[in-house]
Amino acid sequence: MEQFEVRPLLPLHIGGLDLSFTNASLWMCIVTAVCAIFLTMAASPRKLVPTRMQSITELSYMFVSDMIRSAAGTEGLKFFPFVFTLFMFVLFSNVIGLFPLIHPFTVTSHIIVTFALAFFVFLMVIVVGLARHGLHFFSLFAPKVPAVMLLVLVPIEVVSFLSRPISLAVRLFANMLAGHTMLYVFGTFVIGLATAGGALSVISIMPFLAIVAVVALEFLIAFLQAYVFAILTCIYLNDALNLHGHH
């Protein structure tokens, strides 16, 4: 589909690598810029009684910090900048991708983008865990159970640990891709029925109303997926910080 095509804007080939500046890169820059400008502008009044825009920023700050505190404990707050950046980037790219008039490119509907984010989270959990607990970190794979059970549980734990980046990446990517495909399919219904003429043109209002409902659902999903991405990051960080214990 046209909306998912990656087109090079500034071709750039170095060695055998294709490092072109594509529309995906452009939209990632736009998302980052919109996010940074919005948060800076909204937080700049610094009033004791916040304006509406300021309270949006303060609410999102409190939201993320509460999320980290409940999932990873007070120690997890060291990673607040990381989790907040991740949450805001995913949220803004999901939401900006839903505005129809500006022909946006949803960067999170590409698995390479979400996989890069997820793999970074995965590597960070390993690095934080090893730095904090040394080789004791690997006791994460051995729950406190009778020794016989370990034969079964250790492989399961290892596989579930290794599948974390894949599940994080695929969840976000598949949700975004499926949502936009669904809007596209309902859109072709409207065009097809409206151009068919007669009574069929009249009932083309029905898929149109369905699109309105689906767009509302998509806004919910855009927020929910950003939240799920951030909360799972916090839970994985909790594993690295506290091993088995829940702060």
Partner 1 sequence: MDLASAKMIGAGLASIALIGAGVGIGIIFGNYLAGALRNPGAAAGQFTNLLVGFALCEFTGLLGVVMAFIILFT
Q: Which of 239, 33, 78 has the alpha carbon at shortest distance from 143?
A: 239
Query: In terms of CB distance, is 104 or 179 closer to partner 1?
Result: 179
N residues, the chain: 247
User: Residue for token digits 């695929």?
Assistant: 170
Site for partner 1 in 126-155 (CB under 8 A): none
What is the smallest separation between the CB atom of 214 and partner 1, expressed in angstroms?
A: 16
What is the smallest separation between the CB atom of 42 and partner 1, expressed in angstroms?
A: 26
3-state SS, one letter per residue, for 58-83: HHHHHHHHHHHHHHHCHHHHHHHHHH
Does position 182 interact with partner 1 (CB under 8 A)? The reply is: no
Report the run of H or E that residue 183 belongs to, with start and end. helix 164-194
What is the smallest separation between the CB atom of 225 and partner 1, expressed in angstroms?
A: 9
The binding track of 36-75 with respect to partner 1, each residue x by CB under 8 A or -, is: -------------------------------x--xx----
- Name the DSSP letter for residue 140: G
What is the smallest separation between the CB atom of 167 and partner 1, expressed in angstroms?
A: 5
Other Cβ atoms closer than 10 A to 173:
21
Q: How many residues bind partner 1 (CB under 8 A)?
A: 16
CA angle, 48 then 38 then 175, to 5°: 120
Does position 171 interact with partner 1 (CB under 8 A)? The reply is: yes
Q: Which of 23, 207, 242 has the alpha carbon at shortest distance from 113?
A: 23
Question: Can you tell me which of 83, 231, 240, 241 binds partner 1, judged by CB under 8 A?
Answer: 231
Query: In terms of CB distance, is 222 or 231 closer to partner 1?
Result: 231
Report d(CA 109, CA 172) in Å as an integer: 8
Please report, as ranges, the residues that interact with partner 1 according to CB under 8 A. 67, 70-71, 167, 170-171, 174-175, 177-178, 224, 227-228, 231-232, 235
